[in-house]
């Protein structure tokens, strides 16, 4: 019998469907074998797993957009998959709350063992202008956005023939961060823009600038110096400008501003730094180390807990040499196996294992059929390293189907010119219109507060109480606003809104409302006044 959920068997809930989370769930599935003595639920924002090492290749289109993602349901055969955002974790009650789906109601998932594998985030806080103007590069959406943006910049530059300053901005591409991901992004971007620029009659490829900004004396600090220097020389030969010992400090829509005051005119700024721990973990009363990562024991338990485990980029895992494990896919997958083993040992009884993976080596692609690699102490660079890089990652892709897709994309890429299609994916994320019929409920008492509504036409009633015994609190009509209370107080809805007539509303999602309220104190104050007035009327 499960202690945490009251179910007949223990439940393991894994948060995050990246390398750490997915490989933990896979190892747990394997451990289940023919038995059924515990259940596994994995919660992830997307319904797919991203093979991040190949993400930079999406920029140039050398692999298809979905070649390096695998649907979670194809990977996980026995675990239950919840495609939702994790919104909160209550460690005392052992419950995870996930975001509303089509119904604005909280979904709560109880657990006996909790695995935190939420990765890290690119955090631009404290760097003026970066949240607005710099593009992160972490997931498939980021890669697609960057690719589309770069193609748009080229399209615009080919039209704007006479505005020299604008052309300079459009044809300069800046990447901040000289670690693996920054270098791979800069290399792919450089290859791509230089290759496709020849397809635009209005662009002279000589006008293209790709700049890599890095705060240390050399790029790829994770690698041995000779390999990093090889990478530097190669990138420079291909036209990448290196700005070493310089740090990106702020940005505007047209400039990347460095700490020393240098300004690089650009309309495309990608930043792969700084990486911060997941914001959800910040608020949890768990042991945290440098950079806010969760401190674990060598068995992968979060220090001071019995049933909370952490793996991957969000975890600070000790290794036998005394240093924490680096945040790489290689380490995340090994941690996942140890974590799953130890959870099964905790459920069934048995010995725990400790994480003692020492790292097999490092590899980084430099585009244009070259790479740098350091494997089992052996250092290689150039074409052989590139071949090794591709072979290793191809074999590491989960499933033969994906391997086949990637291999055929790579083969075609050797023969065909890069694709130039700009996918316009603009969907309405902000303010939207909604229509309701008489009797329909906009939301129910107890639902999650996920947006604010403005009545355009029609009428509704605000009701309180159990169905059948509801009391009408007030009426709403055109020009009135409702739904503010749950947003301002971060609580669930305290009343039900049901339409009396057909009603049209404007719907503003919680995030956009929070942004407006944070920057317009008068707006926030006026909503608080409405809220207090309503609360006063409700209590009479
Ligand atoms: C461009 C790039 C290239 C890289 N190249 C290499 C390489 O060559 N070799 C290597 O070893 N490593 C590489 N890495 C690093 C490697 O990808 C990471 O170390 C690894 O992905 C960490 O796995 P993770 O599961 O901890 O985190 P992630 O892979 O980031 O997974 C976290 C998951 O949690 C989900 N999530 C986050 N918040 C929520 C929420 N609130 N609700 C629901 N789900 C949520 C995310 O959607 C994601 O699926 C690269 C990384 C990048 C960005």
What separation in Å is there between the alpha carbon of 150 and the centre of ligand 1? 24
Output the DSSP codes for 51-99: -GGGTTHHHHTSS-TTTTEEEHHHH-SSSEEEES-EEEEETTTTEEEE-
Residue 153: in which H helix or E strand, if any?
Answer: helix 140-159
Q: Which of 119, 176, 278, 312 to mutate to test the pocket of ligand 1 (most atoms within 8 A of CB)?
A: 119
Give the helix/strand (H/E) hosting 442: strand 441-443
- Report pLDDT digits (tens) over 352-395: 999 999 888 889 999 888 999 998 888 999 999 999 999 999 99
Cβ within 8 Å of residue 25, ≥6 positions away: 14, 40, 42, 76, 79, 340
Q: Whose CA is nearest to atom 47 of ligand 1?
A: 45
- Rg for the chain, CA atoms, rounded: 26
Which pLDDT score, from 0 to 100, does residue 517 have? 85
Predicted local confidence at residue 353, as pLDDT: 97
Question: From the CB of 482, is ligand 1 less than 6 Å away?
Answer: no
DSSP per residue, 177-234: --SHHHHHHHHHHHHHHHHHHTT-TT--GGG-EEEEE-SSSSS-TTS-HHHHHHHHHH
Instruction: Give Cβ neighbours of residue 134 (< 8 Å, ≥ 6 apart).
Output: 124, 127, 176, 248, 251, 269, 270, 271
Locate the ligand 1 atom nearest the alpha carbon of residue 20 and give its number.
25
CA angle 298, 303, 309 (to 5 degrees): 70
DSSP string for residues in 402-435: HHHHHHHHHHHHHHSPPP-PPP------S-EEEE
Both structure tokens of 477: 């009509």
Please give the pLDDT value at position 209.
Answer: 98
CA 328 to centroid of ligand 1, rounded, Å = 8
In eight-state DSSP terms, residue 469 is S
> Are the C-beta atoms of 403 and 394 separated by less than 8 Å?
yes
Q: Is 357 in the pocket of ligand 1 (CB under 6 A)?
A: no
Residue 125 Cα to ligand 1 middle (Å): 20
Q: How many residues does the chain have?
A: 540
pLDDT at 533: 81
How open is the CA angle 232-236-237, to the nearest 5 degrees? 115
CA dist 24 to 47, 242, 310, 339, 346, Å? Answer: 16, 39, 10, 7, 15
Binding site membership of 188 for ligand 1 (Cβ less than 6 Å) = no
Query: Distance between CA 51 and CA 54 in Å, rounded?
Result: 6
Q: How far is CA 357 from CA 297, 331, 341, in A?
A: 14, 7, 15
Please write the tens of the pLDDT for every residue from 389-398.
Answer: 999 999 999 8
Say if residues 69 and 48 touch (Cβ distance below 8 Å): yes
3 state SS of 168: helix
> Could you identify the atom of ligand 1 that is nearest to the CA of residue 312?
26
CA distances from 298 to 91, 301, 338 (A): 21, 8, 9
Q: What is the pLDDT of residue 537?
A: 66
364 CA closest ligand 1 atom index: 8
Ligand 1 mutation pick, 278, 328, 330, 367, max ligand atoms within 8 A of CB:
328
User: Does ligand 1 lie within 6 Å of residue 177's CB atom?
Assistant: no
Q: Which ranges of the chain have pLDDT less than 70?
A: 1-6, 425-429, 537-540
* CA 46 to ligand 1: nearest atom: 47
Got the DSSP string for 337-403? HHHHHHHHHHHH------------EEEEE-STT-EEEEETTEEEEEHHHHHHHHHHHHHHSSSHHHH
């Amino acid at each position: 019998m499960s202690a945490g959920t009251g179910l007949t068997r223990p439940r393991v809930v894994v948060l995050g469907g990246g390398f750490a989370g997915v490989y933990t769930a896979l190892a747990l599935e394997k451990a289940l074998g023919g038995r059924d003595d515990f259940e596994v639920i994995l919660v992830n924002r997307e319904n797919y797993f991203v093979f991040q090492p190949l993400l930079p290749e999406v920029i140039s289109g050398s692999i298809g957009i979905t070649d390096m993602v695998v649907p979670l349901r194809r990977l996980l055969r026995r675990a239950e998959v919840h495609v939702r955002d994790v919104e909160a974790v209550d460690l005392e009650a052992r419950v995870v709350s996930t975001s509303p789906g089509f119904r604005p109601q909280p979904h709560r998932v109880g657990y006996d063992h909790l695995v935190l594998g939420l990765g890290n985030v690119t955090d631009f806080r404290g760097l003026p202008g970066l949240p607005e103007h710099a593009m992160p590069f972490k997931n498939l959406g980021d890669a697609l956005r960057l690719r589309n943006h770069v193609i748009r910049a080229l399209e615009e530059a080919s039209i704007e023939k006479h505005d020299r300053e604008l052309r300079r901005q459009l044809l300069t591409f800046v990447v901040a961060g000289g670690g693996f991901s920054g270098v791979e992004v800069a290399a792919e971007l450089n290859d791509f823009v230089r290759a496709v620029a020849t397809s635009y009659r209005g662009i002279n490829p000589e006008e293209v600038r790709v700049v890599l900004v890095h705060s240390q004396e050399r790029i790829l600090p994770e690698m041995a110096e000779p390999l990093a220097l090889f990478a530097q020389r190669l990138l420079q030969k291909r036209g990448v400008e290196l700005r070493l010992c310089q740090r990106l400090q702020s940005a505007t829509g047209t400039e990347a501003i460095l700490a020393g005051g240098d300004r690089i005119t650009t309309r495309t700024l990608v930043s792969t730094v700084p990486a911060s721990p997941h914001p959800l973990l910040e608020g949890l009363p768990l042991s945290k180390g440098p950079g806010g990562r969760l401190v674990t024991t060598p068995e992968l338990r979060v220090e001071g807990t019995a049933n909370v485990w952490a793996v991957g980029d969000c975890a600070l895992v000790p290794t036998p040499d005394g240093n924490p494990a680096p945040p790489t896919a290689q380490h995340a997958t090994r941690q996942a196996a140890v974590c799953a083993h130890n959870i099964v040992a905790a459920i069934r009884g048995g010995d725990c294992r400790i994480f003692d993976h020492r790292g097999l080596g490092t590899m980084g692609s430099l585009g244009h059929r070259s790479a740098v690699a350091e494997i089992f102490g052996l250092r290689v660079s150039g074409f052989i390293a590139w071949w090794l890089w591709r072979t290793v990652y191809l074999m590491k892709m989960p499933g033969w189907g994906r391997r086949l897709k990637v291999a055929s994309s790579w083969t075609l890429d050797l023969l065909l010119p890069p694709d130039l299609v700009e996918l316009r994916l603009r969907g309405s994320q902000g303010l939207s219109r909604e229509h309701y019929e008489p009797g329909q409920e906009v939301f129910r008492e107890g639902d999650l507060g996920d947006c604010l509504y403005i009545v355009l036409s029609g009428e509704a009633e605000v009701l309180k109480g159990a169905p059948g015994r509801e009391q009408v609190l007030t009426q709403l009509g055109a020009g009135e606003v409702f739904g503010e209370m749950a947003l301002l107080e971060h609580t669930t809805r305290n009343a039900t809104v049901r339409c009396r007539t057909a009603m049209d509303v404007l719907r503003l999602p919680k995030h956009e409302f929070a942004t407006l309220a944070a920057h317009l104190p008068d707006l926030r104050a006026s909503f608080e006044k409405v809220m207090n007035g309503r609360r006063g009327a409700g209590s009479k």
